[in-house]
Amino acid sequence: MKRNDKGLTYAAAGVDIAAANRAVELMRQAVRRTFRPGVLTDIGGFGGLFALDTEKYREPVLVSGTDGVGTKLRVAFMADRHDTVGIDLVAMCVNDILVHGAEPLFFLDYLAVGRLEPEKVAAIIEGVSWGCRKAGCALIGGETAEMPGFYAPDEYDLAGFVVGVVERSRVISGADIRAGDLLIGCASAGLHSNGYSLARKVLFDVANYEIDNYLPSLGRTVGEELLVPTRIYVRPVLSVLKRFKVRGMAHITGGGLLENIPRILPRGVAVRLRRGTWPVPGIFSLIQELGGVEESEMYRTFNMGIGFVLVVPPAEADQVIAALREHREPAFLIGEVVRGQNEVQLA
């Protein structure tokens, strides 16, 4: 065995601490731009401190959530574009806790890479920063782990964690939903961050598209379409909650419309969705046609153009839609609550 007279180093083993320090410096300003009242620490500490506003909330309930981006990351690798998946990461987390009426307070990210490239890390975190600013929460902590031999050199994984707050008396659970209530759907931007294993199978394996193939029906390349970020619904929905009675909400993620809406329904009711009452982005019909995917599978896998659902009393539906549109949030009356057994019916 040959001896190394100089001795091995962490860098020789594949972990570059100097590159990690440079990445922190490149992301420092992006992180600071997310800070909001309550943040007590700067980037680089061992923990992030946040002071809860106890004057604003008399009985504060903390709501937490965690999620990732899934195999959408594979598309980012193929396109070598990394400035949008951080937005997806934030969106998947903050939209989830929004379902309970929670205002997102602070966010933390976990980024594991095969080889740390400071500029790539900075691009990823810039996306996280943009998402946090859009949601109104502070990015107060995170971890970047270089893991050679575990991830391929050009690959990485992302996870996110959010904490929000809601007044105890205003927690939304769906328990008050009743037959006759109406469903309002907020438009998605496309696939968002779900169903990518099926989408990639159809587009790349069945249709044999390349990442930079132009799709005339969509007016953009495959990569551009698949990397459109998930919409963040926080500000318009929180505004609605201050003015109107909302009995339940659902974030349409993995499982699509058919699996996510029943999660908030009390016993004895179901939902009837009326197809044709909202525009369905072209990417969904393209996947369905190219892959021969059955309609029920489409609705069980994808959001089909609706990223977030609100259940409201009939008397307030038109006003809620108008309020969402005032915030430039396309919204549509998409169905109603009926008597039934915790299911979604397509009409």
Q: Look at residue 6 in the predicted model and tell me its pLDDT.
A: 65
Based on the fold, state whether residues 136 and 236 are members of the same structural domain.
no
Based on the fold, state whether residues 228 and 160 are members of the same structural domain.
no
Nearest to 218 by CA among 286, 167, 159: 286
Residue 66, in any domain of the structure:
yes
Residue 299, in any domain of the structure:
yes
Provide the pLDDT confidence category of residue 202 given band limits of 50, 70 and 90: very high
Provide the pLDDT confidence category of residue 4 given band limits of 50, 70 and 90: low
**Strand ranges (E), 29-136:** 60-68, 103-113
Distance CA 57, CA 117 (A): 42
Number of Cβ atoms within 10 Å of the Cβ of 22: 17
Residue 220, in any domain of the structure:
yes
Based on the fold, state whether residues 186 and 281 are members of the same structural domain.
yes
Residue 5, in any domain of the structure:
no
Based on the fold, state whether residues 201 and 305 are members of the same structural domain.
yes
Average pLDDT over all residues of the chain:
92
Per-residue pLDDT of 46-96, as tens digits, reads 888 888 888 888 999 999 999 999 999 999 999 999 999 999 999 999 999
Which structural domain range is residue 96 located in?
17-170
Based on the fold, state whether residues 249 and 209 are members of the same structural domain.
yes
Q: Look at residue 35 in the predicted model and tell me its pLDDT.
A: 83
The average pLDDT across 25-34 equals: 75
Based on the fold, state whether residues 199 and 138 are members of the same structural domain.
no
Amino acid at 339: R
Residue 252, in any domain of the structure:
yes
Residue 22, in any domain of the structure:
yes
Q: What CATH number should be reported for the domain holding residue 258?
A: 3.90.650.10
**HSE of 281, CA atoms in CB hemisphere, 13 A:** 22
Longest dimension (CA), the chain: 81
Residue 323, in any domain of the structure:
yes
Distance of CA 31 to the CA centre of its chain: 19
Per-residue pLDDT of 210-255, as tens digits, reads 999 999 999 999 999 999 999 999 999 999 999 999 999 999 998 9
Based on the fold, state whether residues 147 and 188 are members of the same structural domain.
no
Residue 6, in any domain of the structure:
no
Distance CA 17, CA 27 (A): 15
Helix axes 118-135, 85-98, angle to 10 degrees: 30
Q: Which of the listed residues 118, 149, 170 is the one where a domain comes to its end?
A: 170
Per-residue pLDDT of 155-191, as tens digits, reads 999 999 999 999 999 999 999 999 999 999 999 999 9
User: Which residues, at least 6 apart from 154, have a Cβ–Cβ distance to it below 8 Å?
Assistant: 77, 114, 115
Q: Look at residue 55 in the predicted model and tell me its pLDDT.
A: 86
Is residue 258 pLDDT above 80, yes or no?
yes
Per-residue pLDDT of 110-139, as tens digits, reads 999 999 898 999 999 999 999 999 999 999
Is residue 18 pLDDT above 90, yes or no?
no
Pair 65, 93: CB distance under 8 Å: yes
Nearest to 327 by CA among 239, 229, 231, 230: 239
Distance CA 308, CA 257 (A): 9
Q: Which of the listed residues 106, 137, 170 is the one where a domain comes to its end?
A: 170
Based on the fold, state whether residues 98 and 243 are members of the same structural domain.
no
Q: What CATH number should be reported for the domain holding residue 59?
A: 3.30.1330.10
| Torsion sign (Cα): 109, 112, 118, 123 | negative
Q: Which of the listed residues 149, 170, 191 is the one where a domain comes to its end?
A: 170
Based on the fold, state whether residues 40 and 142 are members of the same structural domain.
yes
The average pLDDT across 273-291 equals: 96
Number of Cβ atoms within 10 Å of the Cβ of 166: 22
Domains in the chain, number:
2
Q: Look at residue 5 in the predicted model and tell me its pLDDT.
A: 57
Q: What is the secondary structure of 239-291 as a DSSP string? A: HHHHHS---EEEE--TTHHHHHGGGGPPTTEEEEE-TTSSPPPHHHHHHHHHH
Based on the fold, state whether residues 322 and 290 are members of the same structural domain.
yes
Based on the fold, state whether residues 138 and 192 are members of the same structural domain.
no
Distance CA 18, CA 38 (A): 31
Based on the fold, state whether residues 114 and 221 are members of the same structural domain.
no
User: Which residues, at least 6 apart from 189, have a Cβ–Cβ distance to it below 8 Å?
Assistant: 228, 229, 230, 231, 281, 307
